[in-house]
Structure 1
């Protein structure tokens, strides 16, 4: 267990914290506010942010879509370059924050920003950025990763660099009050799988990371069980903080990490527009069953410490419990909304995985294209 851990993001958590932007961004910085489809103008977030930026010179860029695309984000890159923007404020959920990270890095590069995603360019600098979180899910507000889609080619790729780690994140649970049910469910599922990707691997006796991950899973399980009575400050605050802690890097330090569920899930989103969290729920149970022997010890541990299955905490029973948890939330664990045949759908994902070099996935590098094909044959109906 050897690691270096740093999280430089200052968190402003709680009601009314959007006002903290005023002092969090130096007054001499020219700001570009980046947001999505305009929901922030309906829930009061836009006005609060605008008021907090009163002392700053600022512009805005809207229209960042769920699963942000290079094609849209490159327009924001052009604004940053043309207007000499020196601070980016992402106001939205994971897609807006991820997209803003791409903009921040690409704006400091003379070539095609997609070179960052394909590793042709290594990021050495980025425009500093902060975030106002409106949808808890990805933890992007305090980590250094982002996932971007190239619509033209149906490619969905990730990049990580400390240069795009947000300087600060405003997390006001009140902004969740107007979120539709499906977005709250997606956020809960996303945080759950993020935790699992760093926990259901192999046992390394990392007591702190295991206990913290199990605590997060129990919290998320409770939030799922309380979903019908979610309209209260406590529920919202706990989901927002749990989702942040699931992917701020802490539970993953010094332990093996998987992420194969994400790699397969990304292809569902790129090919068919499946919501990110829904794609994870589709892939994960089938993947766990495929890799059950390698993950048996941790699955049994999860069965005992998260689902409290006692003597019945077999790996098989734990996977069944995970799948039942998704079904309790009304989230499907199989996919059938494809064109042509099931064989064509499986083949399409496998081809994308091969194209993107995803040929040895998982904490053991054991999920080959052949293994992925078997997982997909189970996950796709």
Structure 2
């Protein structure tokens, strides 16, 4: 097992009716920026619950954070925080709103041009504005980690950043909020969480036995509940296991002491930036084709995955190949279209564009072994057409 440090200061408050605990979590007298996205929090009652719980607090609202939060929009919030002397941010929404608030938190006191946080991948270890979250869409795990992804609309770039100062102080996770979510968002949430686990699991055989078993249990749980929670979001057992699986998929635990990949995400981010494809759907497009192109590198771990998660039998190679097909079948059962041509038009130059962009950034060796070269990236994207 590799050396590691585990640090996660986020206080997670899980279950029904927990929004009423907000006054015990936010300092008395704090001036709050309440940040949200497209307004679904008004329809599902979360906004009303939050405002009622925070009666007596001075609150400024900031809405309109995009599904892939834009740098340009978030900088408007930074300006409001400075003008209004805000001292606490409450993110009410899904992973995109929380990711956006992480950038806002980092940018308020950043010494320099905040765009550098994204373009230079600056680690934020101090001077971030405190924030908490009310999760309304399980998917990204952003409610219990310190990572974020933000889009620069002007350059069509979707870039990741993070740092130890960007953990939420608290996250309220009430599974009943998923009842009002559109089916597409629930489908995305399951596939997003599933792929988060695969990025940390489908590498090579190692000695992190416990991490593997925890990862496999999350995958099996998502397979068990995924199709059902889409059809029965009011079932609390399904909803709570869905929400907790999404958090556990990316709160740092299964990544410690083991190698991880993340190339699927790095390529997938480009498809979102170029075509506006939902994040989870880019992962369903790229992931299986990456496993096929990098088959020899990942064959042993794919076989383990096939045996333990899908109970497959046969030769190692047969199991490994069938495991990829089982993954595709699961994605299809979750409403994913796994070819780029099914999700976007005018895709002919996509592979060349992404390779050129990666080359300019110096991203010439991705994956757990840095052996996903620019040539492999092109092969993966072309296989996704």
Q: Does 1:258 align with 2:270?
A: no
- Counterpart position of 2:305: 302
Tell me, yes or no, if the aligned pair for 1:130 and 1:169 is still in contact at 8 Å.
Answer: yes
Tell me, yes or no, if the aligned pair for 1:27 and 1:55 is still in contact at 8 Å.
Answer: no
Q: Residue 378 of structure 2: which of 357, 369, 373 is its match?
A: 373
Tell me, yes or no, if the aligned pair for 2:122 and 2:162 is still in contact at 8 Å.
Answer: no
Q: Summarize the Cα distance change of 1:365–1:130 in structure 2 as closer, same or farther, 3 Å threshold.
A: same
1:349 Cα deviation from its structure 2 partner: 2.1
- Counterpart position of 1:141: 143
Q: Distance in 1 between matches of 2:199 and 2:347?
A: 30
1:345 Cα deviation from its structure 2 partner: 2.1
Q: Distance in 1 between matches of 2:30 and 2:199?
A: 38
- Counterpart position of 2:271: 268
Equivalent position SS for 1:374: helix
Q: Does 1:242 align with 2:239?
A: no
Q: Distance in 1 between matches of 2:121 and 2:260?
A: 25
- Counterpart position of 1:328: 333
Q: What pairs up with 1:1-381 in 2 under 5 angstroms?
A: 1-119=2-120, 122-123=123-124, 124-226=126-228, 227-311=230-314, 314-336=319-341, 337-340=343-346, 342=348, 344-380=349-385
Q: Summarize the Cα distance change of 1:11–1:122 in structure 2 as closer, same or farther, 3 Å threshold.
A: closer
Equivalent position SS for 1:360: coil
1:186 Cα deviation from its structure 2 partner: 0.1
Equivalent position SS for 1:311: coil
Q: Distance in 2 between matches of 1:308 and 1:69?
A: 42
1:68 Cα deviation from its structure 2 partner: 0.2
1:51-88 deviations in Å (ceiling 9; x for gaps): 11113222110000100000100000001111111111
**293-302 or 330-339, which deviates more:** 330-339
Q: Distance in 2 between matches of 1:238 and 1:138?
A: 15
> TM-score w.r.t. structure 1 length?
0.97
Q: CA RMSD in A?
A: 1.4
Q: Summarize the Cα distance change of 1:332–1:43 in structure 2 as closer, same or farther, 3 Å threshold.
A: same
Equivalent position SS for 2:256: coil
For structure 2, the residue ranges without an aligned partner over 5 or more in a row are none
1:339 Cα deviation from its structure 2 partner: 4.3
Q: Distance in 1 between matches of 2:198 and 2:374?
A: 22
Q: Distance in 2 between matches of 1:121 and 1:334?
A: 34
